[in-house]
Chain A
Amino acid sequence: GAGVSQTPSNKVTEKGKYVELRCDPISGHTALYWYRQSLGQGPEFLIYFQGTGAADDSGLPNDRFFAVRPEGSVSTLKIQRTERGDSAVYLCASSLTPDRNPYGYTFGSGTRLTVV
């Protein structure tokens, strides 16, 4: 596609529920990244995919968070047993190549998750 698409744009869920957030990267971009942005803060790294595999998941806060990219394009971030502290904007970005990329990132518009 022309840009990075994230759905839904807004998600309100009850504490304890399971949610899935979707990211559709730019066509041909092999690297895909998930970030989380809390109010008033800059985005924080969660996980990075190169193709289908998670090359770096060191930013996932705990085992309630999981992400997949089964066919090397669309990615889904999954959060189990949501907590109020998970409320944030979840941003997805993609880039043409992962390593020493001179073009940087293209970000999606994000999914605003609110856990009530």
Chain B
Amino acid sequence: KQEVTQIPAALSVPEGENLVLNCSFTDSAIYNLQWFRQDPGKGLTSLLLIQSSQREQTSGRLNASLDKSSGRSTLYIAASQPGDSATYLCAVSGNFNKFYFGSGTKLNVKP
């Protein structure tokens, strides 16, 4: 069974810092990797999706990379802002889009 691990579990940084969130997975036979954001008491908002044939995706201040062979992905957030405070979830899927999620990284950006 696919196991997804996210490190760190929690992170607190001052506003303006660049930061990296890590995700690792045990089975490299994936089709998609998707990063989500979850605000307290809310559902999941998709941030970036990387197909297995891709190495990275960028959206604004966010950049996600994928190293499928080593089972790793990173989410880079540039110039962090207090509004970035949320839990960030990494999920990988094989066929049929059945996703396996990590437990998330809870980010707090201090003003």
Contact = CB atoms under 8 A, between A and B. Distances in A.
B49 interface: yes
Interface in B29-46: 31-32, 34, 36, 41-46
Interface residues of B, number: 25
A44 B101 contact: yes
Nearest to B9: A40
The 6 closest A-B pairs by CB, nearest first: A42-B101, A109-B43, A107-B44, A104-B49, A107-B43, A104-B34
A29 to B, nearest CB: 11
A105 B96 CA distance: 11
Nearest to A101: B97
Interface stretch (A13-21, A75-83, A91-99): A91-99
B95 interface: yes
A1 to B, nearest CB: 14
B101 to A, nearest CB: 3
Contact of A102 (B4, B32, B103): B32
Interface of A: 6, 31, 33, 35, 40-45, 48, 50, 55-56, 91, 93, 95, 98-110, 112
A105 B101 CA distance: 13
Contacts of A35: 99, 101
A42 B99 CA distance: 11
A84 B83 CA distance: 34
A71 to B, nearest CB: 21
A55 B97 CA distance: 12
Nearest to A107: B44
Nearest to A92: B43
A100 B95 contact: yes
Contacts of B46: 104-107
